[in-house]
Chains A and B, each alone.
Chain A
């Protein structure tokens, strides 16, 4: 019988475009010490560690081995998980499996990236099939731009509709002391920013950040002794679609992996009307059009209704379902940490540690990860022990 599992502490760096003041190990160490401090544990209390970042990015592989002085993994069970954009959510879910299995009671999950020390686009291009896809593929932006072009054609969504997502996330980032881009953007700012790949402009897309995030998970009985308000895992779900780009791009069906992952998670917890029942959502929205389309996959509104749902203010801090109080991926994107930050921020909301970005009385929180060929991870956390 599986153990119940909760998040008892989180830590993150103050994310920036360039952290020349720290090495990769040192940056990892910063997030780990902050997470341990948050739950008043020492590294000696940690039974096992799971760490991950993007393959091929900083050109140093086997992070689980070389980073141990930063992670605290010296002579501890440590493994690496790397699943592309979803890496951070996979780290959280892997750590959840670890504790749930009963093998370990206190597990540390660490995600990190130093984008300033990598050639992000070239590295991402190597995730595509070398025979068929690599010659035309040009990294994350154009594949997302293609998705946006199909969505706009299908539902008549406009560049302005999408820009509102950036305006929201960048406004929220002002309340998050850790966020990378803490400068608000107006609708005009987004619309006037340079076109990178139609219809994506600079203001529509996430930055490249240096940063790390660490999360401490603990088993039922242990968690309550560590913190008065643990954030309990009540569901997780992972769905991968195809690896051939052409197979995963029947865009007119919506983001199928997120539809399947979220409906499985909702069913497990008994959520029927997610936008009414969830208190807050930290979503992996790497660009603005995702802020319209992916909330449809999550069932916050119907297909094609994303632009109106966002435009009517339902995803604002005082709306029906506040989305990305942290400022989201459009404000901070240290890629291997990005989806773990979604889970950490959801836990922060449940634990009531959000300060200026806190959604009052948040007790049911959704976090998502997104990656590669349009695959999805979903985590639901609750203040109530399951």
Chain B
């Protein structure tokens, strides 16, 4: 799964595994990855009707059915709203191989956003993780970034 250059205006994610699909990320989604690479921060988008800020940014607010265009820079920090430590093996349809376990699947409220961002939290010890804890995104080195959700390595607990 690679993008040769993140600087391209319209990024796609391409699978090179035996399922040859290619999915468009869209204008604002591409910008999300470009912002991570250029400024090590997130970018969201505000709905002019309900005022909600969505991250990752997308072109339409579902409930209002309105087109969005007001991008809002957001810090790479947030709070855990829910999590689960995945402890059973399964085949990952992205790779065809077994997903490495255990890992922590987390929902994170990014500071300044109204929806919730799903990603991986870098803590699998149940005694060290709790709903409400503050977390910070850890990014890949810039020259390793591919315009892919993996450009965010994981979120670290900062309390």
Asked if B82 contacts A251 (CB within 8 A), the reply is: yes
Asked if B85 contacts A131 (CB within 8 A), the reply is: no
CB distance from B75 to the nearest CB of A (A): 17
Complex Cα–Cα for A134 and B120 (A): 11
Asked if A133 contacts B118 (CB within 8 A), the reply is: yes
Asked if B119 contacts A136 (CB within 8 A), the reply is: yes
Interface size class of B (residues with CB under 8 A): 35 or more
- Assess whether A22 is interfacial by the CB under 8 Å rule: no
Encoded as 1 (CB less than 8 Å from any B CB) or 0, chain A from 122 to 146 comes to 1101100011111111110111011
- Assess whether A150 is interfacial by the CB under 8 Å rule: yes
Asked if B56 contacts A135 (CB within 8 A), the reply is: no
Residue of A nearest to B21 (CB): A130
Q: Point out the residue from B29, B55, B105, B117 that lies within 8 Å of A142, measured CB to CB.
A: B105
Complex Cα–Cα for A125 and B105 (A): 13
Complex Cα–Cα for A132 and B56 (A): 8
- Assess whether A245 is interfacial by the CB under 8 Å rule: yes
Complex Cα–Cα for A136 and B150 (A): 10
Given contacts A133-B118, A137-B105, A138-B99, contact A196 B149 (CB under 8 A): no
CB-CB < 8 A to A249: which residues of B? Answer: 81-82, 107, 116, 118
Q: Point out the residue from B25, B118, B130 that lies within 8 Å of A246, measured CB to CB.
A: B118
CB-CB < 8 A to B106: which residues of A? Answer: 146
Number of A residues contacting the other chain (C-beta, 8 Å)?
41
Q: Point out the residue from A126, A131, A243 that lies within 8 Å of B149, measured CB to CB.
A: A131
Asked if B115 contacts A147 (CB within 8 A), the reply is: no
Other than A197-B86, A244-B115, give 18 A-B pairs with Cβ distance below 8 A: A122-B91, A126-B93, A131-B13, A136-B120, A136-B149, A138-B90, A138-B99, A141-B88, A142-B84, A146-B105, A146-B106, A147-B82, A148-B84, A195-B87, A197-B88, A198-B85, A246-B55, A246-B116
Q: List 19 A-B contacts (CB under 8 A).
A: A119-B91, A121-B91, A125-B92, A130-B21, A132-B56, A136-B105, A136-B118, A138-B86, A142-B84, A142-B105, A146-B107, A196-B87, A197-B88, A244-B58, A246-B115, A247-B115, A247-B116, A249-B118, A251-B82
